[in-house]
Copies of this chain bind each other. A is one copy, B any other.
Amino acid sequence: MGRHGILSIGGIEKTRELMNVTLGKEKADLALINATILNVYTGELLEDYSVAIKGEWIAYVGNDPEDTIGPHTHVIDATGKTIIPGLIDGHAHLVWLYSASEFLRYAMVGGTTTIITEIIEPLYTVGYNGVVDFLASISDQPIKIFGTVPAMVSISKRARGIPKEVLKKLLTRDDILGLGESYWQTVIKEPEEYLPIFKETLDSGKRLEGHSAGAKGEKLMAYIASGISSCHEPINAEEVLERLRLGMHVMIREGSIRSDLDSISRIKDSGIDLRRLILVTDGIGPEDLLRKGYMEFVVQKAIDCGFNPIHAIQMATINVAEYFFLDGIIGGIAPGKYADIVIISDLKTIKAEYVISKGRIIAREGDLLVSPRKHTSSAQNLKSVHLSRVLEPVDFSIPVTKEVSQVNVRVIEQVTGLVTKELIVSVPVIDGEIRSDVSKDILKVAAIDRRFDPGKIFVGLIRGFRLKTGAIASSTAWDTPDIIVVGENDADMAGAVNRIHALQGGIVVFANGNALAEIPLPIFGLIADMPLHALVQRIEETKRGIRDLGVPFDDPLLTIMTLTTAAIPFLRICDEGLLNLKDGRTVGLVID
């Protein structure tokens, strides 16, 4: 019966216990009394309210809790305080260098009690067992984490498309709420590949998450007609409004990929119904997580941008719960719902004094009181970087068989730290090969398969990266099972990739035959096994190392990781070649 088990979680025993407390036959375990409560269902602030909790659940909400309180009830007097539902991140990417348990240490203290995350990364790099292992790492934690089935939209033909049996198995899980983001261009271009997957998901009663960056008008409508019901990609109020009008639920993104709240917040002045607006991070990087926090930062920013605080909190609680059909168990403070509650000083200050998740006080004044469960990955997932051989500099040469002195090539032009475009350049052929030319900022970029055909390599060219010497490589490369490497010389490119192989995953800055900085990522080749603060220190060292080599981008790690994604325009690379997202064709470097 699929996810729906989640709606009856706790079952008959839960209901019996709650009824007993409510009807005065048993006493509550925990009670928050005399608070101002935000009722997200009605949008009211109600004074002098109390909440009584039994086990993981809310039994009572009202202003006369006496009968529910006994000698063993832990009573928190919240006089003068405000209580709000636990915050929900409706679209996250938890595979972001940190381990789940380290991420949770920092997410939990701020008041987030539910997360819906993409889980695509382990499926690209390891396959079904990887996803199951990742799901195990986020299950049974002090807060609730749900996933969406990876739609497997990839520029790599081999990695693309989720096998039907994997889709079916994942859709039956209670911790899976839908199909993850399906990039709109691909869906419109290849409906025959995606529509059957969409149908399977809708048949299971779950949601189709969208990704309609830049789409508008007829194309956006065609995409929506497929059953897609959300999008987290709009970057301004106009794009939000167009999507809302077409029946989408719109997620406003404020995270480490993009920070759209400022621009979108104008929508608050439009007077429209905001029930379908949702606040999300779309993933938060280790540094932001450490320094800014998580959903409490996002909600605070929404308030600071001028949203009515009640609306801002609704956007991170009930609106999300309703979108995912979860409002029966989360999203508000009412009998029968999970006791997920945050105590704050006042409605405009989203700073958790207490965080209560599933009835437990998990954090107080920024201190974690309950530790996340640490998951041990299986051996398979700790050995996921496969290469058939030690790479040699010659693996990175670009031979030209024709006897010519110049050839036209497709170069990835790095327009910003994320966006690229296709540049046609005439380059010299020297000794039968194309070489990088640091004087013109034309460097080599290579993608090496580490899963299906280990060591299979495609070498292209990139401009705008500004690396002066050495090479930078990463075993985390969005939407592919590839290692990605950009280098000024072939020897350091080979050295960087071999170092990643030795580490069984990582990001490596390599020059003159030595690793200058590195971040080991042993889990799936994607995730570090170290405390967050240590990871952040490593990241900073690595970024410094990269900047020292001349690369100017704000987050050069993100720049290199995203060279392989179909999510950001326009020219991308994988071990199969170059792919221009405008026409969706995979092509080689040299234009014949």
Contacts and interface: CB of A to CB of B under 8 A. Distances in A.
| Protomer copies | 2
A196 B7 contact: no
Contacts of A67: 218
A166 interface: no
A496 to B, nearest CB: 44
Interface string A68-102: 00000000000000000000000000000000000
A205 interface: yes
Contact of A22 (B7, B46, B222, B328): B222
Contacts of A24: 218
Interface in A33-67: 39, 41-44, 46, 57, 59-62, 64, 67
Nearest to A273: B43
Contacts of A272: 42-44
A222 B23 contact: yes
A199 interface: yes
A514 B272 CA distance: 64
A15 B182 CA distance: 15
B191 A19 contact: yes
A245 B8 contact: no
Contact of A62 (B1, B8, B217): B217
Interface residues of A, number: 68
A203 interface: yes
A222 B337 CA distance: 12
Interface stretch (A224-232, A346-354, A480-488): A224-232
Given A205-B3, A226-B336, A227-B328, A199 B42 contact: no
Given A5-B203, A272-B43, A328-B229, A61 B15 contact: no
Interface string A248-285: 00000000000000000000000011011000000000
A335 B221 contact: yes
Contacts of A43: 272-273
A12 to B, nearest CB: 4
A325 interface: yes
B39 A245 contact: yes
A336 to B, nearest CB: 4
B2 A241 contact: no
Contacts of A158: none
A438 interface: no
Contacts of A46: 245
A246 B8 contact: no
A578 interface: no
Given A43-B272, A272-B44, A246 B61 contact: yes
Nearest to A310: B273
Interface string A97-127: 0000000000000000000000000000000
A12 B199 contact: yes
A198 interface: yes
A368 interface: no
Given A19-B191, A204-B4, A222-B19, A334 B247 contact: yes
Closest 4 CB pairs of A and B: A247-B334, A4-B205, A8-B202, A43-B273
6 contacts: A23-B219, A41-B245, A42-B244, A225-B335, A227-B336, A322-B322
